[in-house]
Structure 1
Amino acid sequence: MRKKWIAALRKPAGFVLMAVLIASAVGYYQQRDIPTEKAPPLTGRSLEGEYLDLQRMTARGPVLIYFWATWCPYCRVVSPAIADLTADHQVISVAMQSGSPSEVTEYLQRNDLPFPTINDPEGALSNSWGIRVTPTMVIVDSGGNVRWVTSGATSKWGLKLRLMLTD
């Protein structure tokens, strides 16, 4: 009886292991150009007119940088979680190739997304960070070092835990 159970579990366990390996390889490939040590500079005016400077912000603690786009289906799932995190954590969001400032502002208002956003209409800022996929979340610690990088769908609680483990 025991051998039947082991045999029955081998196929699902092998499938899960293969899925984890493939997902890890794809994630690594997508994040291959993102810095893994010192964070590159990130400065700019938010759509609200606030000057955002990653280096100055990290002096006050960890910063979550959220690279997203209005046309990204996964971003529609992740963005509300990022919006919730802005109440207790420092967040800079970068709207990648999402249109004019007024189009991005309208999108943020329509979807009740109050995070500070730098518009990156040509993708130059995102490209300087090596961002190839949306959404991508990068957590930078108080020393200006990249501590966590996550691409694709993720949860508010997963990001909150990573922020708590930083610093």
Structure 2
Amino acid sequence: MLTFLLMAGVLTTAMGLYQQRDIPRQQLPPLVGELLDGRRIDVAKLAEEGPVLVYFWATWCAYCRLVSPAVADLALSNRVVTVAMQSGDRTTVQQYLSSKDWSFPSINDPAGNLSRAWGIRVTPTIIILNSAGEVAWVTSGTTSKWGLQLRLAFTR
């Protein structure tokens, strides 16, 4: 049993690193845009105030349905910006969020241009930026609210 758990841990870690291979660690492309509510956002400027959780998700992503409630909770007391990847037009994404009763700042990326520029290959992908705007943490797939809170707490 221990061997199985060890192998599962190694495979999961290797898979995560492989999926994250194209995410730039220091020279990130700009993440500037208009949120669904019409406000303008510049993630680099926001990061100057402290850690920022950047969440790449999609309406069609089954795992995102598990992670999004945690991100919505974290958005109440942390700097969070989300990117809705290839999920339809602005109205479709807004209606989807409303139907789930999720509220987090979101940029719509209907053609996937922002996601590709950031090297995102899987959903959900969560990147935590430090105050210098550099990647401090990356995780993809399912994760917990507590795990994300700990990562945010240890990011400066």
| Shared fold per TM-score greater than 0.5 | yes
Q: 2:151 aligns with which of 159, 162, 165?
A: 162
- Structure 2 residues not aligned, in runs of 5+: none
Question: Who is 1:52 aligned against?
Answer: 41
Cα distance in 2, alignment partners of residues 156 and 18 from structure 1? 25
- Secondary structure of the 1:40 match is coil
Q: Are residues 1:22 and 2:6 paired?
A: no
- Structure 1 residues not aligned, in runs of 5+: 1-11
Cα distance in 1, alignment partners of residues 43 and 80 from structure 2? 9
Cα distance in 2, alignment partners of residues 34 and 28 from structure 1? 10
Cα distance in 1, alignment partners of residues 86 and 40 from structure 2? 20
Q: Quote the offset at 1:70 in angstroms.
A: 0.2
Question: Who is 1:62 aligned against?
Answer: 51
Deviations 1:47-79 (A, max 9, x none): 100101011101111100000000000000100
Q: CA RMSD in A?
A: 0.8
Deviations 1:11-54 (A, max 9, x none): x1111111111111111111110112343210000010010101
Tell me the TM-score normalized by structure 1. 0.91
Question: Who is 1:73 aligned against?
Answer: 62
Cα distance in 1, alignment partners of residues 16 and 47 from structure 2? 26
Cα distance in 1, alignment partners of residues 66 and 55 from structure 2? 13
Question: Identity of aligned pairs, percent?
Answer: 56
Question: Who is 2:96 aligned against?
Answer: 107
Question: Who is 1:8 aligned against?
Answer: none
- Paired amino acid for 2:63: Y
Q: 2:114 aligns with which of 115, 125, 138?
A: 125
In the alignment of these two chains, the number of paired residues is 156
Q: Are residues 1:140 and 2:124 paired?
A: no
Cα distance in 2, alignment partners of residues 25 and 143 from structure 1? 27
Tell me the TM-score normalized by structure 2. 0.98
8 A Cα contact 1:66 1:138, kept in partner: yes
Cα distance in 2, alignment partners of residues 144 and 36 from structure 1? 10
